[in-house]
Amino acid sequence: MNLALYGIGPEDDRKWLMVDCGVSFAGPELPGVDLILPDIRFVEEERANLVGILITHAHEDHYGALYDLWPRLEVPVYMTPFAAALHAAKREMEPGAPRIPTTVLQQGERRSIGPFDIELIAVSHSLPEPNAVLFRTPKGNVLHTGDWKIDLAPQVGQPIDMDRLAAIGREGVDVMICDSTNAVREGRSPSEADVAAGMEEVIRNAKKRVAVTIFASNVARIRSVARAAEKTDREVVILGRAIRRVVDVAGELGMLDGLPPFRDEEAYGYLPPDKVVALVTGSQGEPRAALAKIAFDDHRSVALSAGDTVVFSSRTIPGNEKAVGAIQNALVTHGVKIVTDRDAMIHTSGHPRRDELAELYKLISPKVAIPVHGEPVHLAAHAELARSVGVPKVVMAKNGALVRLLPGPAEVVDHAPHGILVKDGSLIREPEVSGVIERRKVSFAGAVAITVVLDGRGELVGDFAVSLFGLPTTDDRGEAFRDAVGGVVEGTVESIPRQRRRDDELVAEAIRRAVRSAVNERWGKKPLCDVTVLRV
Ligand SMILES: [Zn+2]
Ligand SMILES: [Zn+2]
């Protein structure tokens, strides 16, 4: 959920440029929620001073919130050709998504956006056209690295522009804001060229069908699979809309030139098993993606059988292990061979390990380092590394921190309101008013709704209504929860002195407490409980 805001000018006359506008994905702690978006109330208040949104690259955690949040800002958006084309293609999948005026920037381009003098520097990552951003100001220079690694053979697009980074280092960088994802990993991340070789070997050794699952936006990986297929006399079939979309976009931009054509799903049926490689969506275990459907025998036209191979050319994002594990187990049960990055060189990360970080620090030699893009352990490891390579000052900035970068000394000077918004069905809300907190409680312990009718003297009139949602039917003694709750309601009303039964709220609260504690006694859990008192 990356979103950075850079400001220039005195507090009463400051312009802002947003760098990236990403999403995060909800886990089971937010039941029913699709996406998590950054809370941008601070930016909304400063909207008149916001000159634009600059996107570093086309990963969801960097540009995925644009369609949902742009209508609150309505400022120009800047992206490279691949990001712009992929974003436009994604629009077809998002009903009601706004038309966003987008200016296309080239890697290496320098231009001004409002008072900001920016330059995009090509880096390497795990998709085409990733960029670092250099800000030049009269008070000094600031480098925002974005997501990067050092890959001199990235298999698509240009490699990281080390010459330009070295020149920028010589020009002088005061502050570097840098990727921490792999700051705890020693050494260097392998190149996409190593993955291409490993992929070819796996495919060459396979006797029957091969399916490779990847992150859809990883065009280098798509190229590597296509090259390996060509060399082993196989054809590539695309299974899944997300990869189809990326192949269409990358093809239009010339990124798949020189490769044999990709085949659609229909070809899978008639190609002999040793003549096909399938590129499959769903590497994170997404239940509606092609891989899950195939693994659980639910795909309309594609099946795998004993002796086939599935290559997991991706990293499982924390939180998705169970879903991916279920798919791998289903495949193994069918006799399908599984290849992961533990078995062969078929995946590499798009983020810098420690030696790459050290190399960039040597090239740039910033006066100040600000570690970003990582969990606290990654940020801490990055900070320690930056100090160890001689960076004089490291500033740790938590979410919402307002850091004065220039003139120095760089330090946290204030905090902006920040947080998350949840996208829940078709609504975007702060979690407190989304109902999701209550929904989580209901999902854990169910709910009870009770309606009682009292007359003027405080006597129960007729039957009262009890509805249970998500409770067990009976307790360990065999008593139905419905009966137990009913008994508690009756007993509670009778135990309240008649005078006090005139107070509806007092009666409702007494019943609520008694019911929750009676259920807790039998079940060890307290359901949500809603009591309505009616009078006749
Ligand atoms: Zn990324
Ligand atoms: Zn990222």
Q: Is the dihedral of CA 118, 123, 126, 129 positive or negative?
A: positive
pLDDT the model gives residue 132 = 98
Ligand having the closest approach to the CA of 148 = 1
CB atoms within 5 A of ion ligand 1 belong to 59, 147
Mean of pLDDT values over 30-47 = 95
- pLDDT tier for residue 93 given thresholds of 50, 70 and 90: confident
Rg (CA), the chain: 29
Residue 94 reports pLDDT greater than 90 = no
Mean of pLDDT values over 188-202 = 98
Tell me, in angstroms, the distance from the centre of ligand 2 to residue 405's CA.
Answer: 22
Q: What percent of the chain has pLDDT over 70?
A: 100
Residue 458 reports pLDDT greater than 90 = no
Tell me, in angstroms, the distance from the centre of ligand 2 to residue 61's CA.
Answer: 5
pLDDT the model gives residue 36 = 96
3-state secondary structure of 516: helix
Tell me, in angstroms, the distance from the centre of ligand 2 to residue 19's CA.
Answer: 12
Ligand having the closest approach to the CA of 181 = 2
Q: What percent of the chain has pLDDT over 90?
A: 94
Residue type, 72: R
3-state secondary structure labels for all residues of 441-476: HHHHHCEEEEEEEECCCCCECCCCEEEEECCCCECC
Break the chain down into helix, strand, coil percent, rounded to 5: 35, 25, 40
Nearest C-alpha neighbor of 36 from the set 65, 62, 63: 65
How far apart CA 491 and CA 483 sit, in angstroms, is 12
Ligand having the closest approach to the CA of 130 = 1
- pLDDT tier for residue 500 given thresholds of 50, 70 and 90: very high
Q: Per residue in 304-331, pLDDT tens? A: 999 999 999 999 988 899 999 999 999 9
Mean of pLDDT values over 99-105 = 97
Residue 456 reports pLDDT greater than 90 = no
Token pair 């989580």 in the structure block, residue: 440
Tell me, in angstroms, the distance from the centre of ligand 1 to residue 62's CA.
Answer: 7
Burial environment of residue 478 by CB neighbours within 10 A (0 to 12, 13 to 18, 19 or more): exposed
3-state secondary structure of 134: strand
pLDDT the model gives residue 34 = 87
Q: Per residue in 250-289, pLDDT tens? A: 999 999 999 999 999 999 989 999 999 999 999 999 999 9
Tell me, in angstroms, the distance from the centre of ligand 1 to residue 526's CA.
Answer: 43
Element (H, E) at 41: helix 41-45
- pLDDT tier for residue 142 given thresholds of 50, 70 and 90: very high
Report yes or no: 301 and 269 within 8 Å, Cβ to Cβ.
yes
CB atoms within 10 A of CB 534: 12
Strands 276-280 and 235-239, by their bridges, are parallel
pLDDT the model gives residue 408 = 86
- pLDDT tier for residue 27 given thresholds of 50, 70 and 90: confident
How far apart CA 204 and CA 117 sit, in angstroms, is 50
Report yes or no: 98 and 69 within 8 Å, Cβ to Cβ.
no
Tell me, in angstroms, the distance from the centre of ligand 2 to residue 312's CA.
Answer: 20
Ligand having the closest approach to the CA of 61 = 2
Tell me, in angstroms, the distance from the centre of ligand 2 to residue 36's CA.
Answer: 15
Mean of pLDDT values over 519-528 = 97
Report yes or no: 33 and 436 within 8 Å, Cβ to Cβ.
yes
Report yes or no: 39 and 430 within 8 Å, Cβ to Cβ.
yes
Query: In the structure encoding, which two tokens stand for residue 298, read together?
Result: 């639910």
Ligand having the closest approach to the CA of 179 = 2
Look up the pTM and report it: 0.92
Cβ contacts of 47-50, under 8 Å, gap ≥ 24 = 47/72, 47/73, 47/74, 47/75, 49/14, 49/15, 49/16, 50/15, 50/16, 50/17, 50/18, 50/75
pLDDT the model gives residue 168 = 98
How far apart CA 350 and CA 219 sit, in angstroms, is 13
Query: In the structure encoding, which two tokens stand for residue 379, read together?
Result: 């940020």
* N- to C-terminal Cα separation, the chain: 54
Tell me, in angstroms, the distance from the centre of ligand 2 to residue 501's CA.
Answer: 60
Tell me, in angstroms, the distance from the centre of ligand 1 to residue 79's CA.
Answer: 14
Nearest C-alpha neighbor of 5 from the set 42, 35, 36: 42
Strands 4-8 and 15-19, by their bridges, are antiparallel
Query: In the structure encoding, which two tokens stand for residue 175, read together?
Result: 């502050």
pLDDT the model gives residue 318 = 84
Residue 29 reports pLDDT greater than 90 = no
List strand residue ranges (DSSP E) for 27-85, in order. 35-38, 50-54, 77-79
Q: Per residue in 160-180, pLDDT tens? A: 999 999 999 999 999 999 999
How far apart CA 213 and CA 108 sit, in angstroms, is 32
Q: Per residue in 331-381, pLDDT tens? A: 999 999 999 999 999 999 999 999 999 999 999 999 999 999 999 999 999
Residue 28 reports pLDDT greater than 90 = no
pLDDT the model gives residue 441 = 94
Query: In the structure encoding, which two tokens stand for residue 401, read together?
Result: 């921190």
